Amino acid sequence: MKRVLVTGGMGFIGCNFVKYMLREHDDVKIINLDKLTYAGNPENLKDLKDKRYAFVEGDVCDKSVVDKAVSKCDAIVHFAAETHVDRSIMYAGDFVTTDVFGTFVLLEAARKHKVQRFVHISTDEVYGEAVGRPSKENDALMPKSPYAASKAGADRLAFSYFCTYGLPVTITRCTNNYGPYQYPEKLIPLFVTNAIDDLPLPVYGTGRNTRDWIFVEDHCQAIDMVLESNDFEGEVFNVGSGEEKSVLDIASLILSYLNKPDDLMRFVKDRPGHVTRHAVNAAKIRKRLGWAPRRTFEAAVRTTVDWYRNNPEWWRPIKSGEFKKYYEKQYRTE
């Protein structure tokens, strides 16, 4: 039985990954270490009744909690992070603390307990702008937001633990995910849930900024493949679908699928440091691990819209709680 410590498993990608792993593997045990910040939601895994799964509430910055959890595991998949660019512009310190220092605490414990695999979940945001072509693994890291910069620090710190201490680290840099259980501060769930309620869809700047969009299950599969493989210590894998879409493309698709008018789109002031284009070249993971996304963008967005339409009891409480104060601050017009 392989024992895997998943950090941040109550968040969006983490909870999808926990379910994916327990469904795909009989010989895996999972410990989920999560602080339950505003983005960590026990509802995401409330239906999981599996003896191979255990939850520990705790902070990745807390050495004693981390040491205990790591001592019981063979491998680590490190998702826990502050993740929203707009919040990083308001509260950069929280990002440096969790994303950089929290990663350091986890790496130290992994070194002490000699874990066999450490998969560090980085992001394509570490590259900054993809100028002229999608970013490649060896491109310079030019992060533009405090979120991206904190993730870049964590990404290179993880690499340094491979170079310096021989820790078996592999790093993934995935593009923008979407799918069930994504906190509605991010573009797709925000636009879907606002459109369902006939509320405006706030488009930053011109709306022509593009991202490479991937369905969360396809990302989970890529992480599983990286975790299973023993040959890529110290390496980085980009993960992306190649489906580059602008904010305007996405808003139009969601509005037309929900039969809502285009005039729900509302152009608002741009995000400071807004990255025009994030996109990755994912040839390495396709060639070396045989990974390929299984879903097409339109079909997977429809699946996602249907999920939010069918699960209002999941997102309505979120949108009326802490989120409401955040939303008023973020989107108020001076």
Residues marked active site are found at 124-125, 147
Is residue 157 within a helix (H) or strand (E), and if so which, with residue range? helix 146-165
User: Residue for token digits 């379910």?
Assistant: 19
Residue numbers 19-38 binding ligand NAD by CB under 6 A = 34-37
Please report whether residue 149 would count as binding ligand TYD according to CB under 6 A: no
Instruction: Yes or no: say if 145 and 89 are a contact pair by the CB < 8 Å rule.
Output: yes
Q: Which stretch binds ligand TYD (CB under 6 A): 7-15, 97-105, 159-167, 196-204?
A: 196-204
Determine if 98 is a binding residue for ligand NAD (CB under 6 A).
yes
Q: Is 203 in the site for ligand TYD (CB under 6 A)?
A: yes
Q: Does 281 bind ligand NAD (CB under 6 A)?
A: no
Does 284 interact with ligand TYD (rule: CB under 6 A)? Answer: no
Considering the complex, state which of residue 38 and residue 55 has its C-beta at the smaller distance from ligand TYD.
Answer: 38
Give the Cα separation of 157 and 29 in Å (integer): 27
Q: What share of the chain is helix, strand, coil (3-state, %, to 5)?
A: 45, 20, 35
- Which of 20, 79, 118, 162 binds ligand NAD (CB under 6 A)? It is 79
State yes or no: residue 8 binds ligand NAD (CB under 6 A).
yes
188: part of which helix (H) or strand (E)? helix 187-196
Task: Decide if 38 contacts 185 (C-beta within 8 A).
Answer: no
Among 85, 110, 126, 236, binds ligand TYD (CB under 6 A): 85
Q: Does 65 bind ligand NAD (CB under 6 A)?
A: no
CA distance 300 to 193: 16
User: In this complex, which beta carbon is closest to ligand TYD, that of residue 53 or of residue 213?
Assistant: 213
**Residue of the chain from 211, 219, 284, 319 that contacts ligand TYD (CB under 6 A):** 211
Residue with Cβ nearer ligand NAD (98 or 135): 98
Q: What is the CA radius of gyration of the chain?
A: 19
Segment interacting with ligand NAD (CB under 6 A) among 59-67, 157-165, 222-230, 321-329? 59-67
User: Taking CB under 6 A as the rule, does residue 11 contact ligand NAD?
Assistant: yes
CB 47 within 8 A of CB 88: no
Query: Cα separation of 167 and 111, whole Å?
Result: 6
Count, residues near ligand TYD per rule CB under 6 A: 14
Q: Where are the strands (E) in 41-159, listed by range? A: 53-57, 75-78, 117-123
Q: Kindly indicate which of the ranges 77-85, 160-168, 199-207, 294-302 contains the residues binding ligand NAD, using the contact rule CB under 6 A.
A: 77-85
Instruction: Give the DSSP letter string of 12-62.
Output: HHHHHHHHHHHHH-SSEEEEEEE---TT--GGGGTT---TTEEEEE--TT-
Q: Which residues bind ligand TYD (CB under 6 A)?
A: 85, 125, 176, 186-187, 190, 202-204, 209, 211, 247, 271, 278
Q: Which residues bind ligand NAD (CB under 6 A)?
A: 7-8, 10-14, 34-37, 39-40, 59-61, 79-83, 98, 102, 121, 123, 151, 174, 176-177, 183
